[in-house]
Amino acid sequence: MAIPNVRIPSRQLYIDGEWRESVKKNRIPIINPATEEIIGDIPAATEEDVDIAVEAARRALAGDEWGSTTGAQRAKYLRAIAAKILERKSELATLESLDCGKTLFEAAWDMDDIAACFEYYADLAEALDSKKKTPVDLHMDSFKTYVLREPLGVVGLITPWNYPLLMATWKVAPALAAGCAAILKPSELASITCLELGEICREVGLPPGALNILTGLGPEAGAPLVSHPHVDKIAFTGSATTGVKIMTAAAQLVKPVTLELGGKSPIVVFDDIDNLDLAVEWTLFGCFANAGQVCSATSRLIIQESIASEYLERLLLWIKNIKISDPLEEDCKLGPIVSSGQYEKVLKFISKAKDEGATILCGGERPQHMKKGYYVQPTIITDVNTSMEIWKEEVFGPVLCVKTFKTEEEAIELANDTKYGLASAIMSKDLERCERFTKAFQTGIIWFNCSQPTFMQLPWGGRKRSGFGRDLGEWGLEKYLNIKQVTQYTSDEPWAFYKSPSKV
């Protein structure tokens, strides 16, 4: 893909279908993680801006232009957005790469997925029209009943920096498909493409207030959104620490939330695998794609003892071929960490593992040829025990820790030895064993002989401290719908529970 000469747009907040300066007029610098240079800035919303956006969303729901739309009408907007995403694919991918350090290849891949996600939920929006009013047969002559599916209301969508526009789309597309009015609050570390979504919505004529986009800091913009009395639901993807705060704040208003809070996912490798290199590549992709900044990253390699030595040797050979460079360079497969703060956090995890007695088998430092930028070499850590921080906590960087096992029972125990429960992977040609592990894994996502493939038709989410609720698939739409039961008494006969005065 040719790299366009891209200018960083200077945007305001997107509220009520228009660009609007934040009330306090504050802005946050955009730092390119590959160069550490300031390349632009974004508006910093505060509580006052949240109030304005919520009122715009409420007006949209109450008005005919958005609030009275059919699913088929909403589908047209979603398809128009998808077309615009593809039209601007090269530009948006470059902006995303500059903003968060994602390799250009991965960013372009994301843009295809984003357009497909809008198309997918356009189809589900159309299908809603036939499901909106669903009769329920009670097998009784005196009652008729039906279930009504309606938009839940004003929804707050708080999304992370590792897949800025894709993670936003996972929530925006189904929320709009359901007919909700949404307020998107992306991460302050990567907001450029989310703001461009506002421009795309304006260009396609999405009714004012249907989608509002507020950039800014969590305490100043995210917290007021969560606690706002007229926001009917919060959907959040991010850290477990922030998720606890959101759940606590929402509980004060008995406000529903869905939370996707990351993980510490295992990949279990058995000695019966036929193709060692195939398994090795999936292991690397499962932990090092997007510089390891993936909530479902299979960052705990649990490998059968009999092949551990050979497997690690193959991993080291493959790692030598991973190109680490500016993410805009051709064939770059590992770019920088998103920010200086996250960079320091990753290096601290590695240093702590070494202090606790683990062995840094490879990596663990800045690549020598990269003098600027927040780069960390692909890192493999061995001699790990289960009490170490590197085994227990999510690093969110290109760091793989390794333990060995002898028996299935031991592998299952190690795999489930985590407070998280997002994803698990198993590499084995024994499909009956894979099925046993499917039942045993305490996670919401399970991969056989692969790691990380994600499809919009399938539910995405976890259990334990990885949160609850699901993005994607029909499940991603259902969480933005309010379900009403409607019951009609159709008989002319009296109910006869009380004695009628006319018959006394």
Task: Provide the pLDDT for residue 3.
Answer: 58
Count CB neighbours of 362 within 10 A: 17
Phi and psi (nearest 5°) for 391? -80, -30
Q: Average pLDDT of 284-297?
A: 98
- The per-residue pLDDT for range 397-422, each reduced to its tens digit, is 999 999 999 999 999 999 999 999 99
Please give the single-letter amino acid code of residue 276.
L
Task: Provide the pLDDT for residue 373.
Answer: 98
Report the first-to-last Cα separation within the chain, whole angstroms: 87
Asked whether the beta carbons of 483 and 147 are under 8 A apart, the reply is yes
- The per-residue pLDDT for range 358-377, each reduced to its tens digit, is 999 999 999 999 999 999 99
Residue 327 pLDDT grade (very low, low, confident, very high; cuts 50, 70, 90):
very high
Q: Average pLDDT of 289-294?
A: 98
Residues of the chain within CATH 3.40.309.10 domain(s) are 266-448
Within 362-454, residue ranges assigned H as helices are 389-392, 408-415, 431-440
**Model pTM score:** 0.96
465 pLDDT exceeds 70? yes
Rounded CA-CA distance 190/194 in Å is 8
Q: What are the residues facing 14 on neighbouring strands?
A: 19, 213
1 pLDDT exceeds 70? no
Q: What stretch of H or E contains 82?
A: helix 71-87
- Report, as residue numbers or ranges, the catalytic residues: 260
Q: Read off the tokens for 97.
A: 């790469």
CATH classification (class only), 266-448: alpha beta
Phi and psi (nearest 5°) for 486? -120, 125
Residue closest to 258 by CA, chosen among 228, 233, 240: 233
Q: Quickly list DSSP for 157-175.
A: EE--SSSHHHHHHHHHHHH
Enumerate helices (H) and strands (E) in the chain, giving the number of each: 16, 22
Return the percentage of the chain with pLDDT > 90, whole number: 97
Task: Provide the pLDDT for residue 254.
Answer: 97
Residues of the chain within CATH 3.40.605.10 domain(s) are 13-262+466-487
Asked whether the beta carbons of 214 and 184 are under 8 A apart, the reply is yes
Residue closest to 421 by CA, chosen among 283, 295, 265, 287: 265
Mean pLDDT (the chain, rounded):
97
Q: Average pLDDT of 131-144?
A: 94
5 pLDDT exceeds 80? no
DSSP-derived secondary structure letter, 42 = E
- The per-residue pLDDT for range 7-58, each reduced to its tens digit, is 999 999 999 999 999 999 999 999 999 999 999 999 999 999 999 999 999 9
Task: Provide the pLDDT for residue 2.
Answer: 52
Residue 504 pLDDT grade (very low, low, confident, very high; cuts 50, 70, 90):
low
Q: Read off the tokens for 177.
A: 């498909």
Task: Provide the pLDDT for residue 502.
Answer: 80
Just give the CATH number of 13-262+466-487: 3.40.605.10
479 pLDDT exceeds 90? yes
Residue 6 pLDDT grade (very low, low, confident, very high; cuts 50, 70, 90):
confident
Rounded CA-CA distance 450/426 in Å is 8
436 pLDDT exceeds 90? yes
Within the chain, what is the greatest distance between any pair of CA atoms?
98
Rounded CA-CA distance 39/62 in Å is 40
Q: Average pLDDT of 263-277?
A: 96
CA atoms within 13 A on the CB side of 403: 25
- The per-residue pLDDT for range 120-135, each reduced to its tens digit, is 999 999 999 999 999 9
